[in-house]
Amino acid sequence: MRLLTNGLKNFQLIQRNTLAIAWAEKKLPDVPKKQLKAEFDSLNDSNGKKALAWISHVHQLSDGDF
């Protein structure tokens, strides 16, 4: 059961990460997906979450702060 729970958590994490990157692709269509993934992966999380940092970072990128 523990393996199943861990697998589900990993799947949900991957799914959320994929959705976060897909959202950024819509906001930043000129930035390659590979770069967005690298940017996302480089963020520090807060309590296991990167959402607030990611939203802020995408807004900075959209303002031209590459």
Listed in sequence order, the DSSP H helices in the chain are 2-27, 33-42, 51-62
Work out how many domains the chain is built from and give that number: 1
pLDDT in tens, the chain (66 residues): 454 555 556 556 767 889 999 999 999 999 999 999 999 999 998 888 888 899 999 999 888 755
- Note down the domain range covering 19: 2-62
The CA R_g of the chain, rounded to the nearest whole Å, is: 13
Cα 47 to Cα 18, 22, 26: the distances in Å are: 19, 22, 26
pTM: 0.75
Q: What whole-number distance in Å separates Cα of residue 39 and Cα of residue 1?
A: 34
